[in-house]
Amino acid sequence: MLTATISDFRKDIKQYLDRVTKNFETLIINRGKDTGVVIISLDEYNSLTATQHELSSRVNEQRLDSAIDKLSKGQSFQKNLIES
Residue 22 belongs to a domain with what CATH number?
A: 3.40.1620
Residues 35 and 48 both lie in one domain? no
Q: Domain containing 51: what range?
A: 43-72
> What does DSSP assign to residue 75?
-
Do 7 and 34 sit in the same domain of this protein? Answer: yes
- Do 27 and 7 belong together in one domain? yes
pLDDT digits (tens, 9 = 90+) for 10-60: 999 999 999 999 998 999 999 888 889 999 999 999 999 998 888 888 888
pLDDT classification of 7: cutoffs 50, 70, 90: very high
In whole angstroms, give the CA distance from residue 39 to residue 62. 31
Q: How far apart are CA 9 and CA 11, in angstroms?
A: 5
Tell the burial category of 83 from Cβ atoms under 10 Å away from its Cβ (0-12, 13-18, 19+).
exposed
Does residue 28 share a domain with residue 7? yes
> What is the pLDDT, as a whole number, of residue 29?
96
3-state helix, strand, coil in the chain (%, to 5): 55, 15, 30
* Structural domain count, the chain: 2
The reply to whether 21 and 47 lie within a common domain is: no
Whether 47 and 20 map to the same domain: the answer is: no
Residue 83 has pLDDT above 90, yes or no: no
Identify whether 13 is part of a domain: yes
